[in-house]
Amino acid sequence: MRLQLTLLLLFCGACAYRTPEAAHRHWRLESKALAQKYAKSIAVFFPEYVSEMGFDQYEGLTTPYSKNFDYAWYAHSYKWKKYLDKLEAKALEPEFHTDVKILQRKVNLELEEYGLNRRIGLIPFIPVSEVIYLNLKELLAEGSPKRKQLNAFSRFRTYVRGNREQLPMVDGVIAYVTARQEHVHSLRISGTWPTKVEVETYLRDSPDYLNSIRELLANTPTKIWEHDFKELEAQEATYRDFVRVKILPYARTSSVMPAELYAFRLKQYELGEGAEALIETAKADYQSLYKSFKELGEDLALIHKLPKSDPVSVVHYLAQGFLTDEQELLKLYQKTTQELHQIVLKHKLLTLRRKPEIRIRFATAAEAQSLPAPHFIPSPLFGEGRIIPSQFVITPATRERNDFSYKEAVVTLAAHEAIPGHGVQYQAMKERGTTLIRSWFAHNSVNVEGWGLYAEDLVYPHLTKEAQFITLQRRLWRVARMFLDPELNLGRIRPARVLELFQNELGFSKSFADSELSRYSYIMPGQATSYYYGFKKLVLMKHILQQKNLKISDRCFNDAVLDLGILPLEEIDARLQKGIACDEDD
């Protein structure tokens, strides 16, 4: 009997012990299983979002809007809260515990948002034709595999026809919004409606999105979509009539929103401070940085023998070199990205295992209409089959908007979006095997956009004076966002102040200033504050760590941050404070 017991204890002991490598694999497997379970559950509500991660099986599905959509999503989030609370209370491996906490925060925010929306009577606005276009364009992109095209047709058909379990999109959205309106009436409050400018912009632009949908479908080798498209045109006309009658008359005439709602928006983007603190910090930093901007402008005016030395005049002088020929501009971006890659390697700014694979392309007309600024689209971090490379989407230049089409501006933008910015950031997550929870569900603008602005600063010492001047202009742009966005949304300033600052103080085009105003007003209120906020936290984090340990080089710090993916910066800071392992040659 004793022999049997001894053997049993030895056997169980062998089962319980894991080598460090096995333990490392085990928590990652647990995290992967949890992420896939959660992704599968939310795909019932937002299949388009889940398919972007790389879960191809959801590409043909669509969001099932209905009058009960809000409550069904709340019930889902509440169920997951109970499950994650029980899981988190167990003695978990520390790294897996971190991933559980990330999902907990996400679910808790969903529940908080539901309660807030009900309390203030938030009326959503869904730009139907724009949403359909954006959710089809990647599936029908040039060179897209046939299976994605077939999934796009399936998705498009469901938008138009619905299925046994859901309404066509227009009918579902009308039912969803009407349910919200009925709730507001039951509370006997005025509610928080969309802005008038957002609604009027959609009514103006929707025919363009419909044309863009038609163009996407027309580029495929089949005509099976034509009947459904005619039906979509009729449905969308009905939706516009609904918007004109049921939403536009009640829309807000200003972007001012309840302070409680704006505070929640900041919280969603991982801003750790309130609006007042953001405004105070950003205004002080703007004044200080503007002095450096002005001084460098005066130096450049002397070098180039300009008649005026004010910053705006110097910006306009440099912008005269803008390119309108798309092929020439594309070559400039490609050449600049290669040069930035060499700067990173030569000066050992961070460790690059290989050059990031990034496709630089121009935005389509509809993309530029939806998001008029250049942007980065990461490659799916998970999935089977041929993976589409990350995309750096740039906008064509015109005389009215040339802010991103001359060489000094191209350098700064390419550093932010490509190398050493987002292109490196997302490639690092794929190379290091960052968990899906940390690379997707942990997504927060403070980390992501903070790194983008930090990347501009990394290459700053290695640029020409002219490029440094424009880099300062771009940093002032992000500093200004951190006070203009909250001031506008809390009613402290009028829209004209936004336009005045960007045009008259920083030298941007009117078109650029208009797009910034739209961004703060209704596209992404609160999000624009995250760029400079995240940048400051990264710079301060590095400064404190290097003060404690002089052996921590810039490359060592940068690699350590990239190793941790897009965790909240507070979590990254706490981990780095425990110690960083640096190579001897750093």
The tens digit of pLDDT for each residue in 286-305 reads: 999 999 999 999 999 999 99
Element (H, E) at 570: helix 569-577
Burial of 245 (0-12, 13-18, 19+ CB in 10 A): exposed
Q: Determine the Cα–Cα distance for residues 125 and 197; give it in Å rounded to an integer.
A: 12
Task: List pLDDT tens digits, range 40-66.
Answer: 999 999 999 999 988 999 999 999 999
Q: Determine the Cα–Cα distance for residues 462 and 440; give it in Å rounded to an integer.
A: 33
Q: Determine the Cα–Cα distance for residues 23 and 312; give it in Å rounded to an integer.
A: 58
Give the pLDDT confidence score for residue 411 in this predicted structure. Answer: 98
Q: Which two tokens stand for residue 385?
A: 């089959």
Beta strands 390-394 and 375-377 are antiparallel
Its pTM stands at 0.93
Query: 188-193: long-range contacts (C-beta < 8 A, 24 or more apart)?
Result: 189/120, 189/121, 190/121, 191/120, 191/121, 191/122, 191/123, 191/250, 192/120, 192/121, 192/122, 192/123, 192/252, 192/257, 192/258, 192/261, 193/123, 193/247, 193/250, 193/251, 193/252
Give the pLDDT confidence score for residue 383 in this predicted structure. Answer: 60
> Which amino acid appears at position 185 of this protein?
H
Give the pLDDT confidence score for residue 13 in this predicted structure. Answer: 34
Burial track 484-520 (b if 16+ CB lie within 10 A, e otherwise): bbbbbbbeebebeebbebbbebbbbbeebbbbbbbbb
Give the pLDDT confidence score for residue 401 in this predicted structure. Answer: 85
Domain boundaries, the chain: 27-267, 271-353+402-538
Place of tokens 């299949």: 47
Q: Which residues of the chain have pLDDT under 50?
A: 1-21, 385
Give the pLDDT confidence score for residue 168 in this predicted structure. Answer: 98
- What 8-state DSSP symbol labels residue 321? T
E strands in 304-406: 358-362, 375-377, 390-394
Taken in order 42, 44, 47, 53, the sign of the CA dihedral is: positive
3-class secondary structure for 189-239? CCCECCEHHHHHHHHHHHHHHHHHHHHHHHCCCCCCCHHHHHHHHHHHHHH
> Which amino acid appears at position 500 of this protein?
E
Q: Determine the Cα–Cα distance for residues 585 and 555; give it in Å rounded to an integer.
A: 10
